[in-house]
């Protein structure tokens, strides 16, 4: 007990000395699975998610840091909304997309107290952009090879960052035909992420190949998915 108190005191002193505000304590994969089990959803959906979520947690497509507050926020919603959101998450996981940004987008919408149709509409547009980005990058041979044991995969990261950059332009009402502006914003963002979120070897070929036509193709496909 004395050792514990001494350790606690030391931690408090260290925290005060560093002056840093600690973020929420780290959640574990078990916390995610426990929360998922407790949600009032259909047994079929629960079973599908429990089959997909553990591997997503293991490969970095889903992180406990995001999933726990997401599932906690979901638990306050009506069952239909919970299932609608989790169905979208399941689809994204099945397609091996990094889902953290999708969940964070929903949490942001809820934090801003937006209506459910607005939150869901935004999530669906973001998901459509992820799919369109992957399709176009694949078609142009711009997806990096995925070395075994790398998680999340470099291509999943690249798709996520590119889709989000285009989405951030389109979300507030930017026109998909304004290709030069979108391309410039996307390029600036990729350059800034080079060396931090994106490894130079992964992002450099995309930066070299980036063009207004490429981003317009992605935006067009996301807004008109029947063109796939």
| Residues near other proteins (CB under 8 A) | 18-21, 23-24, 65-66, 68-70, 101, 104-105, 107-112, 114, 118-119, 122, 168, 171-172, 189, 191-197
CB of 1 to other proteins, least distance (A): 30
Least distance from other proteins to the Cβ atom of residue 63, Å: 10
Q: Considering the complex, state which of residue 3 and residue 18 has its C-beta at the smaller distance from other proteins.
A: 18
Closest CB to other proteins among 33 and 135? 33
* Terminal CA-CA length for the chain: 64
For other proteins, the closer CB: 94 or 188:
188
Smallest distance, other proteins to C-beta of residue 95, A: 22
Interatomic CA distance for residues 120 and 111, integer angstroms: 14
| Residue 166 · residue 188 · CB < 8 Å | no
Min dist CB 158 to other proteins, Å, is: 14
In the complex, minimum distance from the CB of residue 105 to other proteins, in angstroms, rounded to a whole number: 7
Nearer Cβ to other proteins, position 119 or 137?
A: 119
The answer to whether 94 touches 130, Cβ cutoff 8 Å, is: no
The DSSP symbol for 145 reads P
Query: Minimum distance from CB of 108 to other proteins (Å)?
Result: 5
- Of 122 and 216, nearer to other proteins (C-beta) is 122
Number of neighbours of residue 104 by Cβ within 10 angstroms: 13
Extended beta strands in 55-191, E state: none
Hey, how many other C-beta atoms are within 10 angstroms of the C-beta on 142? 19
Rounded distance between C-alpha atoms, residue 208 and residue 187, angstroms:
10
Q: How many residues does the chain have?
A: 228
The torsion angle over the Cα atoms of residues 128, 133, 139 and 144, rounded to 10 degrees, is -140
Question: Between residues 76 and 213, which has the closer beta carbon with respect to other proteins?
Answer: 76
Cβ-contact 86, 74 below 8 angstroms: yes
């Amino acid at each position: 007990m004395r050792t514990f108190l001494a350790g606690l005191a030391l931690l408090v002193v260290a925290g005060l000395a560093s002056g840093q505000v600690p973020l929420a304590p780290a959640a574990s994969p078990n916390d995610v699975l426990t929360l998922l089990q407790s949600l009032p959803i259909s047994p079929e959906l629960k079973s599908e998610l429990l089959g997909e979520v553990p591997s997503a947690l293991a490969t970095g497509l889903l992180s406990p840091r995001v999933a726990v507050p997401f599932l906690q926020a979901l638990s306050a919603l009506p069952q239909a909304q919970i299932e609608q959101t989790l169905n979208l998450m399941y689809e994204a996981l099945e397609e091996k997309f990094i889902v953290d940004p999708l969940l964070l987008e929903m949490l942001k919408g809820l934090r801003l107290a937006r209506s459910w149709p607005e939150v869901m509409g935004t999530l669906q547009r973001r998901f459509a952009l992820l799919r369109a980005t992957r399709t176009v990058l694949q078609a142009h041979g711009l997806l990096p090879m995925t070395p075994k044991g790398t998680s999340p995969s470099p291509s999943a990261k690249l798709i996520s960052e590119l889709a989000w950059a285009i989405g951030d332009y389109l979300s507030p009402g930017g026109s998909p035909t304004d290709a030069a502006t979108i391309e410039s914003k996307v390029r600036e963002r990729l350059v800034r992420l080079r060396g931090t979120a994106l490894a130079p070897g992964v992002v450099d070929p995309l930066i070299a190949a980036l063009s207004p036509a490429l981003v317009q193709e992605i935006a067009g496909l996301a807004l008109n998915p029947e063109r796939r």
